[in-house]
């Protein structure tokens, strides 16, 4: 795939416009190569007047900086030394590398992280009983259960991206993805216990096929309480996939709306209420055959009864979440008939199909990917940019890969200044930090608590871990990430840097050359300055993404640190100190 | 229960005989108080939606639904504690004990219009006074405005605090105080593969050398960035590093926390007060830790209020013991109240108003500001200057004017953070 980057000066009437363009060829599954063009209208100005922004004022980052930014945004890991060398000699190689990164498993993981944040799936409060001692039930550790519940809808995202399926599959898939724990929690699927592991499976209960929306994990995370009647689920659906937000609107309840009958009447007649409910309620009605909520005590209570003579809400494992006999329950509670923004929709499957055809879906996905990958509030992504990205998505058969590549190769994202405005730096997310450190050092920061609690991944957890403390969300009380340096983020990075440094140095100095990760040439006794410098050059490339020479000031500084510790302690400790320092440097914190 | 000679016990019949809303209870003169002195703010969050009729906005008669019970019970009565009509019940002795002792130091604010019934949205609004994701909460703004010298100016004890652009000055300890693992790098912790952490902890000399390298690296980095160094993320790095290192040098948390201890409200209150007094933090947020969202089990509100006021009593005593009571405004909030009527499941659903409690900070207590309509718990119009009910006014106490009022009481120019919002001056003026 080649990249062509050019700019045009276009005169339209009395306006002189500058247009930046990037083109690339994208491999589309089963459709060969597709050439698409992305356009950024940078500035139009009356002839002779001062341009607000012009292509000449766009200051690109260096090829290496661009590569680091693209790699971190798409994959959450640093580029390899080979990739770095490639863009140094051929900056145009950035596009092909971006495409390759988008085809990687790490990008699928990034997409899962995106939707984990949007759907707040990885919630600190998401849990079901893992052990029911009297009944001899052991589903797995608490961590296993929490992970299984949260990841089900996210694994659909991962699979869609990994297989480059159209993004609309997120709301139309007739399959889900379970693991050995979730397969025991949920009933009515064709998971093969002999095979084990993570499997793409089908529901066997006849539930409507609506991708993420009909997964048990989604239903559990977004339960419907009391008189809500699935409106919360409808709101989440709309916000996630249409970017149409109901939750932040004022809700004018007052006076006579103190009893259910009055509320039901107002929803149908009061203009202030109808404005939202005319669209929220028909979608909400399609959720009725799916269980509204599942309390842990509904499971433990069922086992207390020996799984016999259970009340309607009680259930032993495996739990069924689909009750077709409640499909028309909307009538019982005087709600509007199922529908989708005025169109017929008999069930959630129809809703998913409508979403897939709704132009707001492609626009919303464009906006979400742009916002997440560039760490901007979703409302801060300009309409022109969204429109251009939406076109990329449509032209690529709804490919998340194509969309993501377009986002991260936008010239504005690869620039240090746009016009006279310096661009914002990105800050490393906890998920990226976790992946990056593991990729560089081999260390996955997790602690073993006990068989009941399980092994806790500390960068993906908030009960014992540091996710929210390092800028992530806990999905419950912290629902927005913090894209700023914080004292606890820096403490976390320091700890992770030291652990990673200790791990990789001990490993590499004991490993053969083919098995090393970071230290390629030195051994535990090496003190030769030239060899140490060469190793430091390698570390600068691998960790910082910068290409330096052995006698550069950067290497001088690192060598001074190394030498101070080597002289006082040992070369091994010196490497640990240097790598720990580099892993918490600003070049790693920001990109 | 016993009442002192200043209390008036209201029978159910007597209360129902009253006309109008609870503004009639705000009969004590409002004393003018000169605001402007910087105050700490300690926010106590009771999230999920408390039923205000159980306590500070009492209703003796809670109509049930078609088949609903009357959960208030016959032992409840409205007691006037130094000018505060409060629902008292044998199920909630801590409520009685608290108000018996501290009513004269407490302001009740009723009828705060939140304008939504969505938990997340309401929490943002009541905590920050704003609908913006970028807004910081009241305690954070107090820390930002007045507390730059503390180790961690804004301490959020269990997460959920909103910091907006001030993240460099804020921090959370983690649900189980796991910050201790970040501060004490000698703690041995087992890894899943059977090995132990830490894999590497720099010695004092190594850490000094490491930090010197980082300082130099950071200086070179910001120099190379040029104009980009002024971006908010980079510009706040220095402040965050300063606090990171202050945390590493301090032993306050290690001396006061235990790892794995999530902390009850009482424990959080004691810790927050202690840390504020020691200069570790300026302002703080704590969490009742309970879920007040009683859609099906309204009776739980008894226990929730009991635990809340047990904690508040400890908090007041600790703040006084630490001698920072007069400089600390305690704000007790919940994002919404619950419907006036009981639903068919024996609980109550969401209602877009709430109440709040304010105490400490030299505030003149024993007053009720605002109010709600008798049967429908709608926010009633007030005079924002006095906070008293005013039927001729077209203003309600909104989440914005409430937060602006708290900021004003804490010696902060509310217009800087909540431009255009009316200020509930009645809190202090």
Each residue of B125-153: pLDDT tens digit? Answer: 999 999 999 999 999 999 999 988 899 99
In this prediction, residues A274-286 reach a mean pLDDT of: 96
pLDDT of A516 > 90? The answer is yes
Give A54-79 pLDDT, tens digit per residue: 555 799 999 999 999 999 999 999 99
Interface of B with A in 285-344 (CB under 8 A): 287, 293, 295-296, 339-341, 343-344
Chain B positions touching A462 (Cβ under 8 A) are 159, 174-175
pLDDT digits (tens, 9 = 90+) for A22-40: 444 444 444 444 444 444 4
**Which of B172, B206, B293 shows the shortest C-beta gap to A577?**
B206
Mutation to test the A interface, candidates B143, B210, B378, most A Cβ within 10 Å:
B210
Q: Is 90 exceeded by the pLDDT of residue B263?
A: no
CA angle A466–A467–A471, rounded 5-degree value: 110
Query: Which of B61, B113, B171, B199 should we substitute to test contact with A (largest number of A Cβ atoms within 10 Å)?
Result: B199
ipTM above 0.95, yes or no: no
- For the segment A521-548, what is each residue's pLDDT rounded down to a tens digit? 999 999 999 999 999 999 999 999 999 9
Q: Chain A: nearest CA to B135, how far in angstroms?
A: 12
- Domain assignment present for residue B198? The answer is no
Q: Which of B217, B232, B341 to mutate to test the interface with A (most CBs of A within 10 A)?
A: B217
Integer CA distances (angstroms), B80 to A144, B85, B100, B368, B385, in order: 52, 4, 9, 11, 24
Q: What is the pTM of this model?
A: 0.89
pLDDT for A256: 64
- The string of pLDDT tens digits covering residues A282-305 is 999 999 999 999 999 999 999 999
Residue among A252, A490, A502 minimizing CB distance to B199: A502
Q: Which residue has the higher pLDDT, A334 or B46?
A: B46
The confidence band for B7, taking pLDDT boundaries of 50, 70 and 90, is very low
Q: What is the rounded (10 degree) CA torsion for B266, B270, B272, B276?
A: 160
Residue among A474, A555, A464, A407 nearest A126 (CA): A474
Per-residue pLDDT tens over the stretch B285-312: 999 988 999 988 898 999 999 999 999 9
Q: Which pLDDT does position B74 carry in this prediction?
A: 57
Tell whether B345 lies on the interface with A, counting CB pairs under 8 A.
yes
Cβ contact A586–B237 (<8 Å)? yes
The distance of A28 to chain B (nearest Cα, Å) reads 37
Distance CA A170, CA A241 (A): 9
In a domain, B181, yes or no: no
Residue B232 within any structural domain of the chain: no
**Between chains, do B158 and A477 touch, taking CB under 8 Å as contact?**
yes
**Across B28-32, B232-236, B333-337, least confident range:** B28-32
CB proximity B252 to A under 8 Å = no
- CB-CB neighbours of A420 under 10 Å: 10
pLDDT for position B29: 38
Q: Looking at the complex, does the CB of residue B236 fall below 8 Å from at least one CB of chain A?
A: yes
Position A272 scores a pLDDT of 86
Determine the distance in angstroms separating the CA of A588 from the nearest CA of chain B, rounded to an integer.
Answer: 11
Under an 8 A CB cutoff, do A484 and B233 touch? yes
Is there a cis peptide before residue A318, judged by omega within 30 degrees of 0? yes
Residue B207 lies in a domain: no
Nearest residue of chain B to residue A554 (CA atoms): B217
| pLDDT, tens only, B309-366 | 999 999 999 999 999 999 999 999 999 999 988 888 888 999 999 999 999 999 999 9
User: Among residues A223, A213, A28, which one has the least CA distance to residue A115?
Assistant: A213
Three-state SS across chain B? CCCCCCCEEECHHHHHCCCCCHHHHCCCCCCCCCCCCCCEEEEEECCCCCCHHHCCCCCCCCCCCCCCCCCCCCCCEEEEECCEEEEECCCCHHHHHHHHHHHHHEEEEEEEECCCCCHHHHHHHHHHCCCCCCCECHHHHHHHHHCCCCCCCEEECCCCCCECCCHHHEEECCCCCCHHHHHCCCCCEECCCCCEECCCCCCHHHHHHHHHHHHHHHHHHHHHHHHHHHCHHHHCHHHHHHHHHHHHHCCHHHHHCCCCCCCCHHHHHHHHHHHHHCCCCCEEEEECCCCCCCCCCCCHHHHHHHHHHHHHHHHHHHHHHCCCCCCEEEEEECCCEECCCCCCCCCCCEECEEEEEEEECCCCCCEEEECECCCCCCECCEECCCCEECCCCCCCEEHHHHHHHHHHHCCCCHHHHCCCCCCCHHHCC
Please indicate if any CB of chain A lies within 8 Å of the CB of B223.
Answer: no
The per-residue pLDDT for B66 is: 37
> Would B230 be classed as within a structural domain?
no
Asked if A253 and B376 come within 8 Å (Cβ–Cβ), the reply is no
Q: Is B204 on the interface with A (CB under 8 A)?
A: no
Tell me, what's the pLDDT at B36? Answer: 67
Q: Would you say residue B403 lies in a domain?
A: yes
The answer to the question of residue B86 being in a domain is yes
| pLDDT (tens digit per residue) in A397-410 | 999 999 999 999 99
Average pLDDT score over residue span A231-248: 96
The predicted pLDDT at position B18 comes to 37
CATH code, domain carrying B313: 3.40.720.10
Confidence class for position A380, pLDDT limits 50, 70, 90: very high
pLDDT higher than threshold 60 for residue A239? yes
- Please indicate whether, in this complex, the C-beta atoms of B167 and A482 are within 8 angstroms of each other: yes
Alpha-carbon gap: A483 to the closest alpha carbon of chain B (Å): 7
Kindly list the residues from chain A whose CB atom is less than 8 angstroms away from the CB atom of residue B153: none
Question: In the prediction, which pLDDT does A26 show?
Answer: 44
Inter-chain residue contact A490 with B241, CB threshold 8 Å: yes
In a domain, B343, yes or no: yes
Does the structure show a pLDDT above 50 at B30? no
- Per the structure, the complete domain to which residue B125 belongs is given by 8-27+36-175+262-427
Provide the shortest C-alpha distance from residue A500 to chain B (in Å). Answer: 8
Contact between B141 and B412 under an 8 Å Cβ cutoff? The reply is yes
Chain A contact present for B429, CB below 8 A:
no
Report how far residue B348's alpha carbon sits from residue A6's, in angstroms, rounded to the nearest whole number: 62
Q: Which tokens is A589 given?
A: 């914190």
pLDDT in tens, B276-287: 999 999 999 999
User: Which residue in chain B has the smallest CA separation from A253?
Assistant: B352
Asked if residue A443 lies in contact with residue B125, where contact means CB atoms within 8 angstroms, the answer is no
Please indicate whether, in this complex, the C-beta atoms of A250 and B115 are within 8 angstroms of each other.
yes
Upper half-sphere CA count for residue B18 (Cβ side, 13 Å): 20
Average pLDDT along chain B: 88
pLDDT-derived band at B12 (thresholds 50, 70, 90) equals: very low
Closest partner residue to B244 (CB to CB) among A248, A491, A505 is: A491
In a mutagenesis test of the A interface, which of B48, B182, B286, B337 is the best target, namely the one with the most A β-carbons within 10 Å? B182
Instruction: Inform me whether the C-beta atom of residue B218 falls under 8 Å from chain A C-beta atoms.
Output: yes
Please say whether the beta carbons of A284 and A345 come within 8 A: no
- pLDDT for res A21: 44
pLDDT-derived band at B262 (thresholds 50, 70, 90) equals low
Domain count, chain B: 1
What is the average pLDDT across A467-496? 95
Instruction: Return the number of CB contacts < 8 Å for A and B.
Output: 239
Average of per-residue pLDDT values in chain A: 91
What pLDDT is attached to residue B61? 64
- Residue A252 to chain B, least CA–CA distance (Å): 6
B-chain residue closest to A487, CA distance: B244
Å from B142 to nearest chain A CA? 18
Q: For testing the chain B interface, which of A235, A236, A419, A484 should be mutated: the one with the most B CBs within 10 Å?
A: A484
State the Cα–Cα distance between residues B342 and A221, nearest whole angstrom.
26
């Amino acid at each position: 795939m080649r990249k062509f980057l050019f700019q045009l000066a276009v005169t339209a009437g009395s306006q002189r416009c500058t247009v930046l363009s990037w083109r690339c060829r994208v491999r589309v599954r089963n459709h060969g190569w597709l050439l698409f063009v992305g356009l950024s209208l940078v500035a139009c100005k009356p002839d002779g007047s001062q341009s607000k922004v012009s292509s000449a004022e766009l200051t690109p980052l260096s090829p290496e900086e661009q590569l680091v930014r693209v790699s971190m945004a798409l994959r959450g890991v640093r580029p390899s030394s080979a990739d770095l060398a490639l863009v140094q000699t051929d900056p145009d190689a950035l596009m092909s590398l971006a495409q390759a990164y988008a085809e990687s498993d790490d990008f699928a993981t990034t997409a899962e992280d995106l939707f984990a944040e949007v759907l707040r799936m990885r919630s600190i409060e998401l849990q079901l009983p893992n052990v029911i001692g009297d009944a001899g039930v052991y589903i797995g550790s608490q961590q296993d259960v929490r992970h299984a519940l949260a990841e089900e809808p996210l694994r659909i995202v991962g699979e869609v991206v990994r297989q480059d399926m159209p993004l609309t599959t997120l709301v139309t898939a007739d399959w889900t993805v379970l693991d050995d724990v979730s397969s025991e929690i949920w009933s009515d699927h064709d998971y093969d216990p002999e095979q084990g592991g993570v499997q793409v499976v089908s529901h066997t209960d006849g539930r409507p096929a609506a991708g993420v929306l009909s997964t048990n994990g989604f239903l559990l995370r977004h339960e419907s309480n009391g008189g809500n009647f699935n409106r919360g689920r409808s709101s989440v659906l709309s916000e996630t996939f249409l970017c149409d937000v109901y939750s932040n609107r004022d809700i004018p309840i007052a006076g006579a709306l103190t009893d259910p009958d009055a509320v039901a009447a107002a929803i149908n007649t009061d203009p202030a209420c109808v404005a939202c409910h005319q669209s929220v309620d028909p979608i909400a009605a399609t959720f009725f055959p799916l269980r509204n909520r599942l309390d842990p005590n509904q499971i433990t209570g069922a086992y207390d009864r020996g799984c016999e003579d259970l009340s309607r809400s009680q259930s032993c494992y495996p739990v069924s979440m689909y009750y077709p006999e409640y499909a028309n329950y909307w009538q019982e509670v005087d709600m509007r008939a199922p529908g989708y923004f005025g169109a017929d929709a008999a069930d959630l499957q129809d809703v998913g199909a409508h979403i897939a055809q709704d132009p707001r879906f492609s626009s919303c996905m464009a906006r979400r990917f742009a916002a997440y990958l560039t760490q901007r509030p979703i409302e801060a992504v300009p309409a022109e940019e969204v429109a251009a990205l939406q076109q990329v998505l449509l032209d690529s058969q709804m490919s998340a890969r194509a969309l993501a590549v377009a986002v991260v190769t936008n010239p504005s994202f690869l620039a240090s200044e746009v016009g006279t405005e310096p661009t914002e730096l990105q800050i490393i997310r906890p998920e990226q930090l976790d992946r990056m450190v593991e990729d560089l050092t081999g260390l996955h920061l997790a602690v073993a608590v006990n068989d009941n609690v399980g092994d806790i991944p500390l960068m993906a957890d908030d009960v014992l871990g540091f996710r929210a403390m390092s800028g992530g969300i806990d999905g419950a009380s912290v629902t927005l990430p913090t894209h700023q340096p914080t004292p606890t983020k820096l403490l976390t990075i320091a700890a992770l840097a030291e652990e990673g440094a200790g791990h990789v140095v001990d490993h590499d100095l004991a490993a053969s050359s083919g098995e090393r990760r970071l230290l390629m040439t030195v051994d535990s006794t090496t003190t030769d300055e030239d060899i140490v410098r060469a190793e430091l050059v390698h570390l600068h490339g691998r960790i910082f993404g910068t290409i330096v020479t052995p006698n550069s000031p950067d290497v001088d500084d690192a060598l001074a640190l190394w030498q101070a510790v080597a002289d006082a302690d040992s070369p091994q400790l010196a490497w640990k100190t240097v790598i720990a320092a580099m892993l918490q440097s600003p070049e790693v914190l920001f990109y | 229960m016993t009442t002192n000679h200043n209390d008036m016990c209201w029978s159910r019949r007597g209360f129902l005989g009253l006309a109008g809303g609870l503004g009639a209870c705000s009969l004590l003169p409002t004393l003018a108080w000169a605001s402007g002195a910087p105050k700490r703010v300690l926010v106590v969050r009771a999230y999920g939606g408390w039923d205000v009729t159980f306590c500070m906005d009492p209703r003796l008669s809670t109509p049930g639904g078609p088949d609903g019970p009357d959960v208030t019970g016959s032992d409840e009565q409205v007691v006037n504690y130094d000018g505060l009509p409060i629902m008292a019940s044998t199920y909630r002795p801590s409520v009685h004990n608290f108000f018996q002792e501290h009513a004269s130091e407490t302001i009740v604010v009723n009828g705060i219009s939140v304008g939504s019934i969505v938990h997340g949205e309401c929490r943002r609004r009541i905590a920050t006074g704003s609908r913006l994701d970028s807004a910081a909460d009241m305690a954070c703004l107090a820390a930002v405005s007045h507390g730059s010298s503390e180790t961690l100016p804004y301490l959020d004890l269990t997460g959920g605090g909103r910091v907006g652009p001030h993240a460099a000055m804020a921090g959370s300890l983690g649900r189980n105080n796991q910050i201790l693992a970040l501060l004490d790098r000698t703690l041995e912790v087992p890894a899943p593969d059977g090995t132990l952490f830490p894999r590497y902890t720099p010695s004092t000399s190594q850490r000094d050398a490491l930090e010197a390298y980082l300082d130099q690296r950071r200086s070179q980095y910001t120099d190379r960035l040029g104009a980009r160094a002024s971006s908010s993320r980079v510009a706040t790095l220095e402040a965050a590093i300063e606090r990171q290192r202050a945390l590493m040098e301090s032993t306050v948390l290690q001396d006061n926390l235990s790892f794995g201890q999530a902390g009850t409200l009482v424990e959080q209150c004691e810790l927050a007060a202690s840390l504020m007094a020691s200069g570790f933090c300026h302002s703080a947020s704590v969490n009742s830790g309970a879920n007040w969202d009683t859609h099906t089990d309204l009776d739980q509100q008894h226990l929730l209020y009991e635990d809340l006021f047990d904690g508040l009593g400890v908090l007041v005593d600790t703040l006084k013991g630490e001698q920072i009571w007069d400089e600390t405004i305690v704000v007790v909030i919940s994002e919404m109240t619950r419907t006036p009527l009981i639903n068919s499941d024996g609980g109550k659903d969401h209602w877009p108003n709430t109440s709040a409690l304010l105490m400490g900070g030299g505030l003149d207590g024993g007053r009720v500001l605002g109010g709600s309509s008798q049967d429908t718990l709608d926010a009633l119009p007030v005079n924002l200057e006095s906070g008293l009910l005013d039927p001729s006014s077209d203003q309600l106490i909104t989440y914005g004017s409430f937060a602006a009022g708290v900021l004003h009481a804490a010696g902060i120019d509310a217009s800087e953070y909540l431009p255009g919002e009316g200020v509930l001056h009645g809190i202090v003026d």
